[in-house]
Amino acid sequence: MRLTILVISTLLMTACGGTPSCTDEAIVAQITGHAEQAIANGLLKNDPDTDTESLTFQMNLALADITTTEHDKTIDKYSCSANILITLPPGVAALKDNDVIQSTSLAKLNLTVEDDDIVAPMTYTTYRSEKDDELILYTENENLPARYVQAVHKIGAFDSGQRPLPNLRKGPTLYGKPEMTVQIEPATKGNLRFQVDYLKRPMCRSWRQAFTDERGDKLIYENPKAGCLLSFSRLGEIMLIEHQGCEMMPRPCLPSGVYQKL
């Protein structure tokens, strides 16, 4: 949880008369602007040379489902709840459910995925200071989308969205991460097959299999006898590999994760 205190300008204070309500346009703009700035700061923390303007142009951030949870009329104080909705390029939001993301601290964030939106609940409070009558805005958790964007930017999701998908039928295409590589290549009768090679895990034996299904940009390998299903989803030059079942294979040898095209 993060708590942010914003002191709104006296110009806003005098323009509104009383304490602005939860849905006040200036309050909403202040919150969304602060959330957008948190995203830009997170991107720059990853890489000081990041073109934050071009990246944030790919996103849309809004405040939705605004609710007044309490209005203390004695001091004209509003307590509010809302959802921050950030629309990301296709496929980027879905990264949240990938094993690699789930293995990080981001798995503990109170975020949900709706199509290409990341939804983050937040609360905020508005009231006037007793001393000098300044308008105070407390916000909690408005930085959650920034933490997610920072994480997926770090693995190259936004760069990949700007590049065409590799043509897997022109020849071998290699994807890698530190522990292993996955090569996808044409097989007989127009099919595709994959080869998993382990770089730093001697206990794991390399294996080669053919895909059992192809659904657009998603390739499926399913072995009902072994109770194992792998899905290979392409996002630009990123390959997402997820598994279901596969209890007969040691977990460190499962190729689940995020791979970059090599």
What is the C-alpha end-to-end distance of the chain, expressed in Å? 38
Q: State the pLDDT confidence band at 180, using cuts at 50, 70 and 90.
A: very high
pLDDT(8) > 50: no
- Same domain? For 141 and 242 the reply is no
- CB burial of 214-224 (b: ≥16 within 10 Å; e: otherwise) equals eeeeebebeee
Domain stop point among 141, 161, 181: 161
Q: Which helix (H) or strand (E) holds 182?
A: strand 180-186
State residue 104's pLDDT score.
58
Would 166 be classed as within a structural domain? no
* Mean pLDDT over the full length of the chain: 83
Query: What pLDDT is recorded for position 56?
Result: 83
> Edge-to-edge, what's the strand order for the sheet holding 213-215?
207-210, 192-198, 180-186, 173-177, 257-261, 238-245, 228-235, 218-223, 213-215
Of 161, 189, 218, the residue that ends a domain is 161
Distances 1 to 121, 140, 141, 207 between C-alpha atoms, Å: 11, 7, 6, 44
Beta bridge partner(s), residue 126: 78, 137
Report how far Cα 189 is from the mean position of its chain's Cα atoms.
38
Domain that holds residue 254: 173-261
Q: Which two tokens stand for residue 67?
A: 């609710």
Higher per-residue confidence, 156 vs 74: 74
Report the distance separating Cα 218 and Cα 239, nearest Å.
Answer: 10
211 vs 157, residue with greater confidence: 211
Number of alpha helices (DSSP H) and beta strands (DSSP E) in the chain: 6, 15
Residues 214 and 241 in one domain: yes
